[in-house]
């Protein structure tokens, strides 16, 4: 998948993406969550 750099506006449709589970026990995609209902994305900038 190509890296995307454009900024999303409030109400914009997010591009498809996948995330590895925190416990490394699978991969989740945006479409997987959307199939189960509305999705709210929050990006938190942190220093872990």
Helix (H) or strand (E) holding 31: helix 30-34
Residue 18: predicted pLDDT: 93
Question: Does residue 13 sit in helix, strand or coil?
Answer: coil
For 6, 7, 25, 40, 45, the CA distances from 20, given in Å and listed in that order, are: 23, 23, 8, 18, 18
User: Given a cut of 70, is residue 8 above it in pLDDT?
Assistant: yes
Give residue-wise pLDDT tens across range 9-38. 888 888 899 989 888 899 999 999 999 999
Q: Which residue has the tokens 């699978």?
A: 26
Euclidean distance between CA atoms 30 and 16, whole angstroms: 6
Residue 31: predicted pLDDT: 95
Smallest Cα–Cα separation from 29: which of 21, 8, 7? 21
């Amino acid at each position: 998948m190509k890296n995307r750099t454009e900024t999303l506006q409030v109400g914009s449709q997010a591009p498809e993406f996948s995330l590895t589970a925190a416990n490394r026990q699978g991969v989740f995609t945006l479409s997987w969550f959307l199939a189960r209902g509305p999705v709210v994305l929050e990006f938190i900038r942190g220093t872990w």
